[in-house]
Amino acid sequence: MKTFVAKPAQIEKKWYVVDAAGHTLGRLSTVVADVLRGKRKPIYTPHIDTGDFVVVVNAEKVVVTGKKAEQKIYWRHSGYPGGIRGEPFARLIKRRPEEVVRRAVKGMLPHNRLGRAQLRKLKVYAGPDHPHEAQHPEALEIKE
């Protein structure tokens, strides 16, 4: 028997919508990352983008456990000496809730050009509305 390798032209990409309200950030992100990579499909091939599109709504209502809301720091660097800045989770979730979910998922994807291509299929919105109704996304259930 020969090993099956998916070809980019054969891959059928679907759209899923996930409601993040009340879900734990890490548990939500692992499921979303698996869908983006294509690990839920039988044709999964590690070096080919076999994943689907994911739309995350209500990102502002995602929760974290323990004291992470006060203690978790998101770092960024300007590229200049002394240009590092930190922002706590509680302030970032108020200012840019989409960024919190996007960064959590990004950390669970490969750190190469394949991971960047998979991250482009993630669409995150703070509120319940999104402009992707024309793609007819299916609801994706997250089990806690």
Does the residue 83 lie in any domain? Answer: no
Q: What does R_g of the chain's alpha carbons equal in angstroms?
A: 17
Closest CA to 107 of 17, 19, 25: 25
Q: Mean pLDDT across the stretch 92-107?
A: 97
The number of folded domains in the chain is 1
Is position 144 within any domain?
Answer: no
What global pTM score does this model have?
Answer: 0.93
Task: Find all residues with CB under 8 Å of 81, minimum gap 6, and list them.
Answer: none
pLDDT for residue 46 = 94
Range(s) of the domain holding residue 49? 13-64+96-139
Determine contact, residues 141/23, Cβ cutoff 8 Å.
no
Indicate whether 88 belongs to any domain.
Answer: no
In-domain check, residue 91: no
Q: What is the mean pLDDT of the chain?
A: 96
- Which residues have CB under 8 Å from 15's CB, separation 6+? 52, 53, 54, 55, 132, 135, 136, 137, 138
- The answer to whether position 82 is within a domain reads no
The answer as to whether 22 is a domain residue is yes
